[in-house]
């Protein structure tokens, strides 16, 4: 029975890594589509979101089968529960990459009202956070998970900078308003991606300690 359980866990680890890579690529592509005003790439991101949704359902199915067939307890149950939560956050990251791409399509063909500097930095930071969260999960590495949680402040600070700069442009010229609001929404989606990446790291900590946000659950 234990051998079968280990095999199923290995399969889950592989699926989590695959989904993590998919959402990391979605973030990178969303940023590239925005910066290059690439409508075709933006549309591919939107279309590929269905595949991320399918990955979520496949992992959920594997987790539920494992729970029903193996009836895990203690640390094993925490691990499976954490995986279920992580897939939900990764699915939401995919959604936000798609949301960013939809706005990118609306902005296509129009010059940006300012050079985009901090939004690409947000994308870069969130990609690192997702990658490090998945690495922390695979290696059972609390230290790396804690680093991800701490780095969310970087993304939050970048968002505040973007918002402040764009609001200033609106005050200077009301004609900047529509695009500025769209760019603030894009930055907000990247900020939310950072939140979900933080959630991933927090579920890694939970899988290892039974504590979620310092509260003992299991």
Q: What is the pLDDT of residues 166-178, one digit of tens each?
A: 999 999 999 999 9
Q: What ranges do the domains of the chain cover? A: 2-216
Q: If you classify domain 2-216 with CATH, what class do you get?
A: mainly alpha
Alpha-carbon gap, residue 60 to 87, rounded angstroms? 8
Q: Collect all residues with Cβ–Cβ distance below 8 Å to 152 and sequence separation of at least 6.
A: 129, 194, 195, 197, 198
Q: What is the pLDDT of residues 59-102, one digit of tens each?
A: 999 999 988 888 877 888 899 999 999 999 999 999 999 999 99
CA angle 39, 41, 46 (to 5 degrees): 95
- Please name the residue that has the structure tokens 């790291």: 201
The predicted model scores a pTM of 0.93
In contact, 96 and 193? CB cutoff 8 Å: yes
């Amino acid at each position: 029975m234990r051998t079968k359980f280990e095999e199923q866990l290995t399969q889950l680890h592989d699926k989590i890594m695959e989904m993590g890579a998919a959402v990391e690529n979605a973030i990178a592509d969303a940023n590239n589509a925005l910066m290059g005003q690439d409508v075709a790439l933006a549309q591919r991101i939107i279309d590929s979101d269905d595949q991320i949704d399918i990955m979520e359902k496949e992992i959920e199915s594997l987790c539920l089968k494992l729970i029903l067939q193996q009836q895990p307890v203690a640390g094993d149950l925490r691990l499976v529960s954490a995986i279920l939560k992580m897939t939900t956050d990764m699915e939401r990251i995919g959604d936000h990459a798609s949301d960013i791409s939809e706005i990118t399509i609306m902005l296509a063909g129009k010059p940006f009202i300012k050079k985009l500097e901090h939004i690409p930095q947000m994308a870069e930071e969130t990609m690192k956070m997702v990658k490090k969260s998945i690495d922390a999960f695979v290696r059972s590495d609390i230290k790396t998970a804690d680093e991800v949680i701490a780095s969310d402040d970087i993304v939050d600070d970048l968002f505040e900078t973007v918002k402040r700069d764009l609001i200033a442009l609106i005050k200077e010229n009301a004609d900047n308003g529509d695009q500025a609001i769209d760019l603030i929404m894009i930055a907000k989606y990247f900020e939310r991606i950072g939140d979900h990446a933080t959630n991933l790291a927090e579920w890694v900590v939970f899988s290892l300690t039974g504590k979620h946000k310092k509260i003992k659950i299991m």
